[in-house]
Amino acid sequence: MAHWGGDLMHGTTRRTPLATSQPTEHPIPRPTPPRTVADDAAAPDVLCFGETMGMITPTETEALDQASALTLGTGGAESNVAAHLAELGHRVAWAGNVGNDPLGTKIVRTLDRAGVDTRWVGHRTAPTGLYLKEPDTGSGARVFYYRAGSAASQLSIDDVAGWPLQSASWIHTSGITPALSPSCNALVEYVLDHAAEHGAQVSFDINYRPALWPLTEAAPRLLDLARRATVVLVGLDEAQTLWGCITAEDVRALLPTVAYLVVKDSSIEAVEFRLADGEQSVTRVPARRVDVVEPVGAGDAFAAGYLSALLTGATAVDRLATGHSLAAWALGSREDFRPGRTLSATSRTAELRR
């Protein structure tokens, strides 16, 4: 048993006035028909971008070096968020590069089946990235990446010109993407700085991956990028590793002007700091016990649930609660993205509350 999820019946919100010199947030856009994409009723409201890879994992719960049967799947933080958002009824696209290889084809087909728009996926001669995921056999799940020089690492600012920024009111990415290559690093900064010119806002999930870049490089860069976003999501454990934070309030002190800062402490609570019209509100929704099969993918599910609730005008308590509910759902599976088409978001929440 492990802590995750939230008690949907409880949450606290505290409001604190801030100095009038503090910037105020922009109104959060609701899902709307496309603004300027002519004659395209299916243009996305949400655009997620980053790397999605092929994933190989033992069919049974056993170590990789002991496994005789393996399962081939797909996984990627931003595309996981996109798939959850699609299930929740949002028009969402995923943009990224895949190789001209069977893994790239599988990724596109998997996302298509999940209801994610893949029209802006680039196909390159470089290979699709791959990772091996070892289930938790007593010492925690482990992941081994084979992504250096991948097609996704070739993403650059030049790719943005072809993306549907004129229809998307929301853009989502993570701290994985800038770690892939210098061109990806520049791309994330560019999107964060220029999204508003297209009427879009950006959510940024820190998603620190120590295997991708050294702490001395990642810590200042992720903090700099986070300060440019409308929504930032970060685990308290990540913040402690990156910046030495002990509490959610320590994270807020580093990111005082982010309109929506969500700090997740999986065993205790999730905390939202919201800045609006010179006033800060702090909302906490406690964790509760759920049966954990595997933690990989739960953070992406939380992000999707939170963003979906935010985009549809839910209260702060409900935003965090929806994030908890989807995370708890994901924790019950070894899949990076656990589909749940037979359960609506409401019935899924009810199921998790029993």
* Domain locations along the chain: 2-353
Question: Is 61's pLDDT higher than 90?
Answer: no
Question: Is 127's pLDDT higher than 80?
Answer: yes
Find the range with the poorest average confidence among 15-24, 103-112, 220-229. Answer: 15-24
Cα distances from 113 to residues 87, 119, 172, 330, 337, in angstroms, run 11, 13, 20, 18, 13
Token duo for residue 64: 């990789």
128-179 per-position pLDDT tens digit:
999 998 887 777 778 899 999 999 999 999 999 999 988 899 999 999 999 9
Q: Which pLDDT does position 217 carry in this prediction?
A: 98
Question: Is 294's pLDDT higher than 70?
Answer: no
Using alpha carbons only, how large is the chain's radius of gyration in Å? Answer: 19
Q: Which pLDDT does position 167 carry in this prediction?
A: 87
pTM of the model: 0.85
Q: Of these residues, 45, 300, 318, 336, which one is catalytic?
A: 300
Q: Which pLDDT does position 79 carry in this prediction?
A: 96
15: confidence class by pLDDT, cuts 50, 70, 90: low
Q: Which pLDDT does position 19 carry in this prediction?
A: 42
Based on the residue annotation, tell me whether 318 is a catalytic residue of this protein.
no
Q: Which pLDDT does position 56 carry in this prediction?
A: 94
194-225 per-position pLDDT tens digit:
999 999 999 999 999 999 999 999 999 999 99
Token duo for residue 276: 């609006």
Average the pLDDT over 272-291 and give the result. Answer: 87
Q: Which pLDDT does position 348 carry in this prediction?
A: 43
Question: Is 26's pLDDT higher than 60?
Answer: no
Question: Is 73's pLDDT higher than 70?
Answer: yes
Cα distances from 135 to residues 210, 228, 292, in angstroms, run 19, 36, 12
Q: Which pLDDT does position 7 carry in this prediction?
A: 39
Q: Which pLDDT does position 292 carry in this prediction?
A: 53
Is domain 2-353 classified as CATH 3.30.70.270?
Answer: no
Question: Is 113's pLDDT higher than 70?
Answer: yes
Q: Which tops the pLDDT comparison, 42 or 265?
A: 265
Q: Which tops the pLDDT comparison, 3 or 48?
A: 48
Question: Is 54's pLDDT higher than 60?
Answer: yes
| Phi, psi torsion values for 53, nearest 5 degrees | -125, 165
Q: Which pLDDT does position 312 carry in this prediction?
A: 94
287: confidence class by pLDDT, cuts 50, 70, 90: confident
288: confidence class by pLDDT, cuts 50, 70, 90: low
Question: Is 69's pLDDT higher than 80?
Answer: yes
Question: How would DSSP label each residue in 216-282?
Answer: HHHHHHHHHHHTT-SEEEEEHHHHHHHH---SHHHHHHHSTT-SEEEEEETTTEEEEEEEETTEEEE
Q: Which pLDDT does position 329 carry in this prediction?
A: 58
Q: Which pLDDT does position 95 carry in this prediction?
A: 98
Q: Which pLDDT does position 325 carry in this prediction?
A: 83
Token pair 């999730």 in the structure block, residue: 270
* Angle at CA of residue 172, ends 327 and 259, nearest 5°: 90
Name the range with the highest mean pLDDT among 162-166, 314-318, 337-341.
Answer: 314-318
